[in-house]
Amino acid sequence: MYPSNSSSTPMGRRRFLAAAGGLGAGLLLAGCSTSATSPAAAGSSPLPLNRIGPGASEIAATEKARQAAGQRTVDVALDAMVGPVDIGGRTVSTWTYGGALPGKEIRVRAGDLLRAHVSNQLPQPTTVHWHGIALRNDMDGVPILTQPEIAPGASFDYQFTVPHPGTYMFHPHVGPQLDRGLYGALIVDDPAEPGGYDHELVVVFDDWLDGTGTTPDQQLADLKAHGMSGSGGMGGMAMAHSDLLGGDAGDVTYPYYLANGRTPTAPTSLRAKPGQRIRLRMINIGGDTAFRVGVPGTPMTITHTDGFPVIATRADAVLLGMGERVDAIITMPDTAVGLLGLAEGKNGISQVLLQPGNGRAPDVAAAAVALMARPAILVNAIPAAPAVQLTPRAPDITHQLALAGPGQGYTWTINGQTYSPDQGLPVHAGQRVRLAMSNTTTMFHPMHLHGHTFQVVAPSGVGPRKDTVNVLPGQTVTVEFDADNPGQWLTHCHNIYHGESGMMTVVSYLP
Ligand code: C2O
Ligand code: CU
């Protein structure tokens, strides 16, 4: 039996471990400041006033350099609005772009100018962030840091060149709004790509609670009020745990898990002929849930991580942290089966049905058991394809990021500090920057960097290019990137409840 969850109670717990984690972070920081072997900055520093902000001339100059002659313009409109959505077997009132869940996919070609007219019909201020895109800093959608919030009733025009092909997404960057229905896929086609597949399937996986008697704002308030308060044993609720994630699987349980906006019993489906090649573009927009993704009985070939190509790698199942994307190729099976997104450690299921026209799909719970019996991989060690590997070079600067929490009142910190737009990690244009992220907590953190695609430093040397990387409990994950996109860039945990509780800092370009 593979039951799905039926409550959405925050799991208050970890009092003891959290205290230990805080201590560990302190020790770690002390260690970093004395044992650095390359130019290193331990901790976040107050940022100087002359940092390269969103209005700096460097931003416009960088954008201009991206614009080729004859650039095509793509116009889209996003209406952020409140309204009912049918998630399959249930209608919920939620916040979406244009009334659709996910919002209508945006599709451009690499090099295009994307113009998005965003109209805010929500009762709260909002912004739109273009997750994974190396865009001009003033269009990045981070309140205060890169733009003022868009007030209720107001609108804002985003306009930027989209430089790299791949699978991306868009979502708000205000509070836990992305844990409502405000999201969509942003697909950037590569004019130079050979194709080599018959169909494409974009799948957005999500954990869902909005409009089911609670809201993300309420969840965040509950975590802040009770997350540390000794309610852990409440109702005997099991802690969400995952061996694959090496510890806690989440802080929130959800009543539903959705694939492309639908519950597993009323899924969307892809019709294709047996043997046809399907390109999967899989996106995790969950707030607090990693998804274990795969098709029982049908191995996939992973081709891209966070939009960038990797050495093709076979897997039965792959883990997607919040904010991560994986592209893979599968061969359409002979009989109907689900492309499953299993809520890791949470016993929840989502699926899109692969429908070759033969046979009925197996019971989804049985399919989940079959997938769970197969090994699942994390992508952190898969080498980037040679064409997108960073040129080998010693880092010019190394920043340590000590990830810790939760503290009193459910605070999550980087280098002992909760987020402030005036504190961060200084870099200079032209530098090779190394970030070493150490997780002293009992839960994984999918760490995301805005405006850049780093390369994970794998045991073998070259790891994948990514913008969001899972850092498991007790792990240090090191990434490197070239500082080639001036501005003020958020780096944060893509667990929306961690990020909004402080686990964010700024990679700050200084003159
Ligand atoms: Cu999708 Cu700041 O993130
Ligand atoms: Cu986190």
> What number does the ligand 1 atom closest to the CA of 178 have?
1
**Which pLDDT does position 30 carry in this prediction?**
31
Q: Is the CB of 13 under 6 A from ligand 1?
A: no
Q: Is the CB of 332 under 6 A from ligand 1?
A: no
Cα distances from 118 to residues 125, 176, 486, in angstroms, run 12, 18, 25
Cβ atoms of 323 and 494 within 8 Å: the answer is yes
> What number does the ligand 1 atom closest to the CA of 504 have?
2
Q: Is the CB of 240 under 6 A from ligand 1?
A: no
Distance of CA 383 to the CA centre of its chain: 20
Instruction: Count CB atoms within 10 A of the CB of residue 39.
Output: 11
Q: Measure the CA–CA gap between 258 and 266, rounded to whole angstroms.
A: 10
For residue 412, the CA-to-ligand 1 centroid distance in Å is: 16
Cβ atoms of 289 and 345 within 8 Å: the answer is no
Q: Measure the CA–CA gap between 35 and 132, rounded to whole angstroms.
A: 33
End-to-end Cα, the chain, rounded Å: 59
> What number does the ligand 1 atom closest to the CA of 499 have?
2
Q: For strands 166-171 and 241-242, give the pairing.
A: unpaired
**Domain residue spans of the chain:** 199-377
Q: Measure the CA–CA gap between 135 and 164, rounded to whole angstroms.
A: 10
Give the pLDDT mean for 467-474. Answer: 98
For residue 25, the CA-to-ligand 1 centroid distance in Å is: 24
pLDDT > 90? residue 21? no
> What number does the ligand 1 atom closest to the CA of 142 have?
2
Tell me which of 3.40.50.1980, 3.30.930.10, 2.60.40.420, 3.40.50.850 is the CATH number of domain 199-377.
Answer: 2.60.40.420
| Closest protein CA for atom 3 of ligand 1 | 131
Closest ligand to the CA of 403:
2
Closest ligand to the CA of 251:
2
Q: Is the CB of 224 under 6 A from ligand 1?
A: no
Note the pLDDT tens digit of each residue in 192-241.
Answer: 887 889 999 999 999 999 999 999 999 999 999 986 433 343 333 346 89
> What number does the ligand 1 atom closest to the CA of 323 have?
1
**Which pLDDT does position 239 carry in this prediction?**
67
Q: Measure the CA–CA gap between 136 and 481, rounded to whole angstroms.
A: 17
For residue 195, the CA-to-ligand 2 centroid distance in Å is: 36
For residue 467, the CA-to-ligand 1 centroid distance in Å is: 10
Q: Is the CB of 281 under 6 A from ligand 1?
A: no
Q: Is 209 helix (H, G, I), strand (E, B) or coil?
A: coil
Q: Is the CB of 498 under 6 A from ligand 1?
A: no
For the chain, percent of residues with pLDDT exceeding 70 = 89
For residue 336, the CA-to-ligand 2 centroid distance in Å is: 36
**Which pLDDT does position 43 carry in this prediction?**
66
For residue 373, the CA-to-ligand 1 centroid distance in Å is: 32
For residue 90, the CA-to-ligand 2 centroid distance in Å is: 30
Q: What is the pTM of this model?
A: 0.91
**Which pLDDT does position 253 carry in this prediction?**
87
**Which pLDDT does position 45 carry in this prediction?**
84
Cβ atoms of 492 and 467 within 8 Å: the answer is no
Instruction: Count CB atoms within 10 A of the CB of residue 360.
Output: 8
Q: Is the CB of 325 under 6 A from ligand 1?
A: no
Q: Is the CB of 450 under 6 A from ligand 1?
A: yes
For residue 357, the CA-to-ligand 1 centroid distance in Å is: 38
Q: Is 446 helix (H, G, I), strand (E, B) or coil?
A: strand
By C-alpha distance, which of 249, 248, 260 is closest to 208? 260
> What number does the ligand 1 atom closest to the CA of 131 have?
1
Closest ligand to the CA of 501:
2
Q: Is the CB of 172 under 6 A from ligand 1?
A: no
Closest ligand to the CA of 498:
2
Cβ atoms of 289 and 244 within 8 Å: the answer is no
Q: Measure the CA–CA gap between 501 and 489, rounded to whole angstroms.
A: 18
State the alpha helices, DSSP H only, in 227-363.
none
Q: Measure the CA–CA gap between 485 and 52, rounded to whole angstroms.
A: 11
Closest ligand to the CA of 321:
2
pLDDT > 70? residue 80? yes
Cα distances from 81 to residues 86, 92, 94, 147, in angstroms, run 15, 14, 8, 21
Rg over alpha carbons for the chain, rounded to the nearest Å, is 21
Note the pLDDT tens digit of each residue in 275-301.
Answer: 999 999 999 999 999 999 999 999 999
Q: Using 50, 70 and 90 to split pLDDT, how confident is the model at 459?
A: confident
Give the pLDDT mean for 157-164. Answer: 98
Q: Is the CB of 323 under 6 A from ligand 1?
A: yes
Q: Is the CB of 490 under 6 A from ligand 1?
A: yes
Which residue carries 């780093």 as its tokens? Answer: 454
Give the pLDDT mean for 49-61. Answer: 97
Closest ligand to the CA of 489:
1
**Which pLDDT does position 42 carry in this prediction?**
52
Cβ partners under 8 Å of residue 47, min gap 6: 422, 423, 424, 426, 506, 508, 510
**Which pLDDT does position 310 carry in this prediction?**
98
- Beta bridge partners, 498, equal none
Note the pLDDT tens digit of each residue in 390-417.
Answer: 999 999 999 999 999 999 999 999 999 9
Q: Is 436 helix (H, G, I), strand (E, B) or coil?
A: strand
> What number does the ligand 1 atom closest to the CA of 132 have?
1
Q: Measure the CA–CA gap between 505 and 511, rounded to whole angstroms.
A: 19
Q: Is 252 helix (H, G, I), strand (E, B) or coil?
A: strand
Closest ligand to the CA of 248:
2
State the sign of the Cα–Cα–Cα–Cα dihedral 391, 395, 397, 403. positive
Choose the weakest-confidence range: 199-203, 356-360, 462-466: 356-360
* Average pLDDT for the chain: 90
Cβ atoms of 344 and 291 within 8 Å: the answer is yes
- Beta bridge partners, 224, equal none
| Closest protein CA for atom 1 of ligand 1 | 131
Which residue carries 């095509």 as its tokens? Answer: 72
Q: Is the CB of 279 under 6 A from ligand 1?
A: no
By C-alpha distance, which of 188, 304, 341, 283 is closest to 494? 283
Which amino acid does the sequence have at 260?
N
Q: For strands 488-493 and 476-482, give the pairing.
A: unpaired
Q: Is the CB of 448 under 6 A from ligand 1?
A: yes
